A = this chain, B = another copy of it.
Amino acid sequence: MARPTVLTRPALADRFAASARAPGALLSDDEFDGWFAGRRHASRFAVERIPLAGLRGWHEDPGTGNLVHETGRFFTVEGLSVRTGTPHSWMQPIIQQSEIGILGLAVKEFDGVLHLLMQAKMEPGNVGLVQLSPTVQATRSNYVGVHRGRPITHLDYFTQPGRSRVLVDVLQSEQGSWFLHKRNRNMIVEVTEDVPEHPDFCWLTLAQVRRLLRADNVINMDARSVLSCVPEPAGDEGTARHSGGELLRWLTDVKARADLQQRLVPLRGITGWHRSGDAIRHDEGRFFEVVAIEAAAGNREVGHWTQPLIAPVGQGIAAFLTRPIGGVPHLLVQAKMEAGVRDVAELAPTFQALPANFAGAPDRLRPRFLDEVLAASGTALRYDSVQSEEGGRFHHATNRYQVIEVGTGFPLDEPPGFRWVTPGQLRALLQHPYYVNVQARSLLAGLGAVR
């Protein structure tokens, strides 16, 4: 079989585009559905809420009240004090995890078409528990062996030079509301050697993966993040409303005016939150809770464990409004500041929030475009699915992801902090770290799946 040897990004994009049109060479969609249902039922999983005091291997630091692991690794739950330039400040619990993990997708040609090696992976916070993850999803603690568990399957393709050709390798941020400065390495590598079969893994074309992106709670957050970084053909983007340079200068201006100050503080002392036996909760019941779970699974690196998770108090919505401008599709992005974001603000969907947080709030506190999002229905919903956020850190944290066509009658005004951009402009920024937040990346992956 002749292999393409061209290494340029356009040529790569064409190869992924071909995969996005191709049926699977190894597994039909029906066969996948059967396999995946089997994986969901193959092992006996049990995840249950336990009291915070029931955590094993984790303890409350006597000085600070922070939740820490006995090894000093994995992550900690601490307090964060946030001050912004507007007279607004608050405290909240936050997950601190400074190490960089790998979200790695291996691809390989079968019958001349790129296939993606997906893993059926159980995470305790996932809806449905088992979802499709990238080939490898490993914290640094995992892959340097702190957990004393089994070696991670296929890890070498991502860490050993020469075992693969690296196509994508870029740091991207994760949830700014729940993590402090968290990011992971999003990798795509091409493998040419024979890959041993494994019951938890399957090879799918990009077309097959995109079919699953249209379903609820099948493709996990890490996979959606990596999929957003798949090189795309430049296509006929035509003329964007703003040049790339203008967008970068605008984002600098937004960041400089915001003056976000973040400081870790003892979890025990944070105001506005209280601790009961089973959770740390906001005094008004808003935002999220810190809870504890006990999990047992047959096919994870270690057999059973307990850990803290963040459980939001309701389902969120993350939505892009979209309309053509001069015939070219544009998305309305906002430069969104969140408590734990690494550098003040990142590009986010038009609307991104938990509506429950605004129940009973005065109009001036309601986020912009909430009404437009709640009113959308029918064919205006070009993409509409419910997806789980990182099931290793969050408990049943789901967002309804929507791309909403608002048509050429929708005003072109750009409120402060908002800009109309093309999907291609966002994808170009994904070659650099920390421009596009994780919710916007999920939507970009979803947008690729729109037929």
Contact = CB atoms under 8 A, between A and B. Distances in A.
A260 interface: yes
A99 B102 CA distance: 31
Contacts of A263: 264
Interface stretch (A55-63, A248-256, A297-305, A363-371): A248-256
Given A343-B342, A432-B432, A185 B264 contact: no
B259 A169 contact: no
Interface residues of A, number: 31
Contacts of A177: none
A370 B431 CA distance: 34
A98 B85 CA distance: 11
A170 interface: yes
A147 B449 CA distance: 54
A140 interface: yes
Contacts of A344: 100
B256 A433 contact: no
A102 B185 CA distance: 32
Interface in A232-289: 245, 248-249, 252-253, 255-256, 259-264
A98 B140 contact: no
A328 interface: no
Contact of A185 (B168, B185, B248, B256): B256
Nearest to A9: B245
Residue with the highest number of chain B CB atoms closer than 10 Å, among A252, A253, A263, A264: A252
Contacts of A185: 252, 256
A170 B256 contact: no
Nearest to A7: B243
B248 A431 contact: yes
Contact of A249 (B169, B262, B342): B169
Contact of A248 (B98, B245, B432): B432
A27 B262 CA distance: 47
Nearest to A244: B431
Contacts of A432: 248, 432
Nearest to A140: B259
Contacts of A245: 9, 431
Contact of A170 (B170, B248, B259, B260): B248
A171 interface: yes
A344 B181 CA distance: 12
A166 interface: yes
Contacts of A259: 98-100, 140
A98 B433 contact: no
Given A9-B245, A342-B343, A169 B252 contact: yes
11 contacts: A98-B260, A140-B256, A140-B259, A168-B249, A170-B249, A171-B343, A185-B252, A248-B431, A248-B432, A252-B433, A342-B343
Closest CB pairs A-B (n = 8):
A169-B249, A100-B256, A169-B252, A98-B261, A185-B256, A99-B259, A432-B432, A166-B249
